Amino acid sequence: MYLTREEEKMLKGEMGYAKQVAMEILLALGEIYGAEKMVLIKSAQISGVSYMNLGEAGVEWLEELSTDGKVEVYTTLNPAGMDIERWREMSISREFAEKQIRITNAYTKMGIHLTLTCTPYLAGNKPSLGDHIAWAESSAVVYANSVIGARTNREGGPSALASALTGRTPYYGLHITENRAYSLRINVPNLRDEYDFALLGYISGKLCKGRIPMFSRVESANQVELKALGAALASTGGIAMFHVEGLTPEYMLPPQDRVEEIDIEEGDLKNAAEELNDNVEPDLIFIGCPHASLEELIMVMQRLRDRIVKKEMWICVSRSIKGLAEELGIYQKLERLGVKIVCDTCPIVAPISSLGVKSIATNSAKGVWYSRNLNKVKVKIARLTDLIEEAVR
């Protein structure tokens, strides 16, 4: 693999320990995937922040890198295992909180912004069409590639951090234009809202088998809907990019040589909803997977119609969306009605089973998928309107 003089210096340790480790990681990755060279990146998004996922070894590794590591590009962070300010209200143990704070301190020392969100594009890290970036967090990766038209592979926490520390990533996969073309056309039924888009993503992910899909016959789609579609697609199919005909920035790219065509019917959406429903009474109703936008907070407020929430209900957001909501009085109103606006985390990366949560309800197919398969809690997927009616009952 070709390395510039600066990259060679990093590899030899002439620019410090952290950059040397980072360049070793990137070189190994580039060689595995047959990259010819590195490409400079505009930003990084790092996953692997919750102590629940990192454990003691992860904390120590980050602290070691932070002794001389400094990031070269604008870098943001995925959610942690707790709300950094309200962890006591979440019944998080002091021991967990202390470990979590060691992790965020190490990242801060490296110059990384504590955005603690899976929607960096709603929190100031918004690349432009054609920018090379190195993002971890599957839902953010698929959104960046598909909706923004920036270019990133599905990085893991260590490779995204390595890219942040060096300002580079190996040039392969979705950084190359030809690899961004679709080879599966999916004709979709009428889609009403983000719930339908999430179900569509859930079904399609299973059908894609690694292929980039082109969704056809979508009349319109807003940011919330595309966010839900991509997150589900990335969860069930590991997909990092999709196109929507007539809507997303690169839908005009010529397709791959062979294109398969599949129809998804309304009945398939209903079947998917049944599959994602354990018919439980939820301990926690949760909105914001991926983290909610201001628009979603407004949707909840409008549907609540001043009624008090009687069940535990969280909306997970980034701190910047919370700030905007505070300025507009939306935050205060929702909290007055009994909704908890939770920042920096979500019920998937926080230790919710130790908080006594055994079942959750959400409108997110990704949220349901991981809650069931990773956290082993019972799940229920429902439209936002139905979740709210359940919350006020």
What is the contact surface with ligand F3S in residues (CB under 6 A)?
Answer: 79, 118, 139, 231, 289-291, 316, 346, 348-349, 366-367, 370
Report, in Å, the least distance between residue 237 CB and ligand F3S: 15
- Both tokens of 248, joined, read 């997303």
How far is C-alpha 343 from the geometric centre of its chain's CA atoms?
A: 14
* Phi and psi at residue 306, to the nearest 5°: 65, 10
CB count within 10 Å of CB 288 equals 27
Report, in Å, the least distance between residue 346 CB and ligand F3S: 3
Rounded to 5°, angle at Cα 138 from 148 and 255: 55
Residue closer to ligand F3S (CB basis): 158 or 290 = 290
Residue closer to ligand F3S (CB basis): 27 or 116 = 116
Residue closer to ligand F3S (CB basis): 48 or 167 = 48
Report, in Å, the least distance between residue 311 CB and ligand F3S: 19
CB count within 10 Å of CB 313 equals 24
Phi-psi region of 329 (alpha: psi -120 to 50; beta: other; left: phi over 0): left
Taking the C-alpha atoms of residue 214 and residue 183, their distance in angstroms, rounded to an integer, is 8
Report, in Å, the least distance between residue 329 CB and ligand F3S: 25
Taking the C-alpha atoms of residue 30 and residue 42, their distance in angstroms, rounded to an integer, is 18
Report, in Å, the least distance between residue 110 CB and ligand F3S: 21
Residue closer to ligand F3S (CB basis): 208 or 289 = 289
Cβ neighbours of residue 236 closer than 8 Å, sequence gap 6 or more: 201, 202, 203, 205, 206, 365, 369
Looking from the CA of 340 toward its CB, the CA atoms found within 13 Å total 19
Report, in Å, the least distance between residue 393 CB and ligand F3S: 25
Report, in Å, the least distance between residue 231 CB and ligand F3S: 6
Residue closer to ligand F3S (CB basis): 52 or 289 = 289
Residue closer to ligand F3S (CB basis): 179 or 223 = 223
Taking the C-alpha atoms of residue 204 and residue 194, their distance in angstroms, rounded to an integer, is 15
Residue closer to ligand F3S (CB basis): 291 or 380 = 291
- Both tokens of 51, joined, read 């102590």
H/E segment holding residue 252 = none
CB 197 within 8 A of CB 220: no
Taking the C-alpha atoms of residue 292 and residue 311, their distance in angstroms, rounded to an integer, is 19
Report, in Å, the least distance between residue 171 CB and ligand F3S: 27
Report, in Å, the least distance between residue 21 CB and ligand F3S: 26
Residue closer to ligand F3S (CB basis): 218 or 348 = 348
The tokens 């201001």 sit on which residue?
A: 294
Residue closer to ligand F3S (CB basis): 43 or 139 = 139
Report, in Å, the least distance between residue 47 CB and ligand F3S: 8
Rounded to 5°, angle at Cα 180 from 175 and 186: 155
Taking the C-alpha atoms of residue 146 and residue 149, their distance in angstroms, rounded to an integer, is 5
Residue closer to ligand F3S (CB basis): 58 or 367 = 367
The tokens 């889609």 sit on which residue?
A: 191
CB count within 10 Å of CB 68 equals 14
